[in-house]
Structure 1
């Protein structure tokens, strides 16, 4: 059986993926490993025969490239706007990584571990591509891979425990923005009792509320550019519950005559799937919805997240926009937005291949630094950084960089599981050979203790800074650099701040880890 698996690496990989998926569904207290099940089953199966992990380097690289590039695209759209909030969290991450390197080397020396053990453990517990730099710095020492193999699952387990304990917390995040997913969006009909210019309505100028239906003198119309609101108008107000409440309190009171959206003879609404290539990568403010359709866009649904349609919101393929238009223009709206599942499910292989190629080229650039240190982003951080840049740009001329949400999520999950399965198979023999020895116990202790120290610094820093527990969790996942921890956090809470913070600290953390892992062995 082992000979057959060794001769058929694709079969072995699929076996690990399927059994890992089964393990990932089993609940262990507050934990459910999810995608990380592939890592642990890879360790188990790979331990039976060293041949099972051979020849998987290309597959592992493909997995991590797909994951990092798709995460970069998703995080890039919010990274720039969130940078003011996250720079202090990034500083806390740098301090945490430095403290971990110092503590790991100190504990390693006290316990008699070699610098190669410590360097491998540092790269492993932080699940970092810095293992390549560590291997080079230690001249290919076997101790480096042993430290990596033992510390890697240690980082996954500790990371998931921390996420399970923190991600659902509601500590004060005074300097953080409120999650769009958490705030939610409501639509309430307001009975206007005073004449008011739209710019006077709280939240209208900064687009925290929007109007769609307007009933005046018994006629229904779309609320767009109609001058001031008049007494006895009824208007539909859309936004977060608090913002809508403030706007209605200013204008009058909630209507007792029923919801305007039930009156669909003259004005109608519908969710349209954005599949037109002419709209992708453009902001809502750039569209001619008022002119072409005589309507307004009030909401955009992206994945599981419903967002208010602000003018600066950039549309991505697969978004579902809620548009309010005159009833006789519904078919025109279908043509305008595309509304085609078939078109949006197709991958733009040109832009995806070009983006990943740019990421790999960026990752392959080696910069010599003082002290003989050589720095390169590698096949993980390179695609992530380039993905974040392209995700922030959305489009460059005819090139549309964003992927449809469902396609992005599928590629990300597939890449993650392939990467973890390949790592497990390759690390299984080294893990088994040392896991139950005194040296193995020392490595696990050093890696675990240093990670706990780094965790305390990052989470305490985030709380003192005034960031939410959800952004802190995403930052911690990026600090550890473990894709499975990000997936675990996203499975626990639907919050866009998690992914934004992950992208920021993963990219920065990778750079710092590559440098520090070479300092550890000196």
Structure 2
């Protein structure tokens, strides 16, 4: 815990645009482990526990996005796997020509591409602390070069014919509209494809919540919610904007943010809740983390979501009870679901598969929990078990797990790091890391451009390929575009699995 504390403090120190974050625990652990080698003894259980917590929570958070975008993101995913294959070949070739051992090369590949779970796989496959040394030598190179690459790319405006600017990049707005024509809801632009939602309906002096399937009449007043361009299109079709806001009148119909904390609600889609039938209410927006989402019928609610519901004044209290609306409950974690999910992941990771040439392959404690987490994150719930973890709790567990893992690895790898860091071997390892990062950037970004993807998605995809959260944060800070995060989500989990396989291949063939 001393390493965790000092590492977290070191991780927040800015080096220009760079902060090492949780990786600070690795460098502090290396220093203390080099000073006192006995500190690194007997930490295998802590290391595996921290790793399992980290990758499982990553999988839970990424699962839904990964599988929902699978078809759309397939070209980018295929490109990412191809790049991993190429840089693995380069790593083997350079490592052999420079006289670096398989354990060091595997660690360098994991560090250059900042893949903490791959470090665990490399250590297990090689059985050597030198994997941790290679990782620690290559990690700063990978992070610094990746940030420079993202900074150079994210603002580019090359032709992205297959990747137009999404309407959600505009954010969400609400506009009160006076209806000039008779219209069924399905005829309104944006209604059928759910790029807009409508909530308030004022008709003949009476205000209520708009019911699905009903018809709009001339002189009706409605509230339209969605991206600005979609709202403008709906307003032009229906009539023209009002000079007042329907939401100002809260006597009969009101709106309120509720926290989803009820286990019976979490893991179910907006349409499955049937709020119009139960309460005469409608959800228009869902706040998840820092993102404001339009409440499409298929959107699955998660514990900790903050939903904006419009309902009759008399039903607000009952609706709040139904959704839960408890801040305390979303700070709690379902220990049964969490424990069972990690157990399933570790069991999957322990399965060993025989490969041609006498090689064996296993997902290990790094990829096993990650794969299971992604599957369960896409399922959301199984009967009474809710696999989703509230975002705040997820991030807390993830951070703690990562700090424990990196601290343990640093302490155990300290003596070997001190012996090689400032030697010719260390310099060669750093050079290999630089080549791997630059080749990865050239292939991934060039390939994304040839595939017709935009620069923001390509930059996000590269950040996900490398996998260091600081690189994503830097990219998002430089360019506010949801395609950055979408590209990141497409490659983050997949690249982790690919790099875990890659380090095992290196250990087997060198």
Give, in whole Å, the separation in 2 of the partners of 1:374 and 1:487: 37
Give the deviation of 1:363 after TM superposition.
Answer: 0.7
- What residue is the counterpart of 2:441 in the other structure? 455
Pick from 307, 313, 318: which aligns with 2:304? 318
- What residue is the counterpart of 1:419 in the other structure? 405
- What residue is the counterpart of 1:293 in the other structure? 279
Asked whether the 8 Å contact 1:98–1:516 carries over to 2, the reply is: no
Give the deviation of 1:447 after TM superposition.
Answer: 2.2
Change (3 A) 1:414 1:488: farther
- Residue 501 in structure 1 maps to residue 490 in structure 2: yes
Give the deviation of 1:499 after TM superposition.
Answer: 5.1
Pick from 335, 347, 352: which aligns with 2:333? 347
Pick from 182, 189, 201: which aligns with 2:176? 189
Asked whether the 8 Å contact 1:149–1:427 carries over to 2, the reply is: no
Give, in whole Å, the separation in 2 of the partners of 1:142 and 1:438: 18
**What do the CA deviations read for 1:243-283 (whole angstroms, capped 9, x no partner)?**
11111111122212x11111101110101111111111111
Give, in whole Å, the separation in 2 of the partners of 1:519 and 1:456: 27
- What residue is the counterpart of 1:204 in the other structure? 191
- Residue 335 in structure 1 maps to residue 321 in structure 2: yes
Change (3 A) 1:498 1:96: closer
5+ long unaligned stretches in structure 2: none
- What residue is the counterpart of 2:291 in the other structure? 305
SS in structure 2 at match of 1:220: strand
Give the deviation of 1:480 after TM superposition.
Answer: 3.3
Which of 476-485 and 333-342 deviates more? 476-485
- What residue is the counterpart of 1:60 in the other structure? 47
SS in structure 2 at match of 1:307: strand
Give the deviation of 1:385 after TM superposition.
Answer: 0.6
- What residue is the counterpart of 2:506 in the other structure? 517
- What residue is the counterpart of 1:225 in the other structure? 212
SS in structure 2 at match of 1:31: coil
TM-score for both structures, normalised by structure 2: 0.91
Give, in whole Å, the separation in 1 of the partners of 2:457 and 2:308: 28
4+ runs of 1 displaced by more than 4 Å?
A: 128-138, 140-146, 163-174, 176-181, 468-471, 481-496
SS in structure 1 at match of 2:264: coil
5+ long unaligned stretches in structure 1: 1-13
Give, in whole Å, the separation in 1 of the partners of 2:302 and 2:76: 28
Give, in whole Å, the separation in 1 of the partners of 2:59 and 2:310: 33
What are the equivalent positions in structure 2 for 1:471-482 lying under 5 Å apart?
471-482=457-468
- Residue 373 in structure 1 maps to residue 373 in structure 2: no
What are the equivalent positions in structure 2 for 1:247-258 lying under 5 Å apart?
247-256=234-243, 258=244
- What residue is the counterpart of 1:272 in the other structure? 258
Give, in whole Å, the separation in 2 of the partners of 1:161 and 1:43: 26
TM-score for both structures, normalised by structure 1: 0.89
Asked whether the 8 Å contact 1:123–1:517 carries over to 2, the reply is: no
Give, in whole Å, the separation in 2 of the partners of 1:469 and 1:416: 30
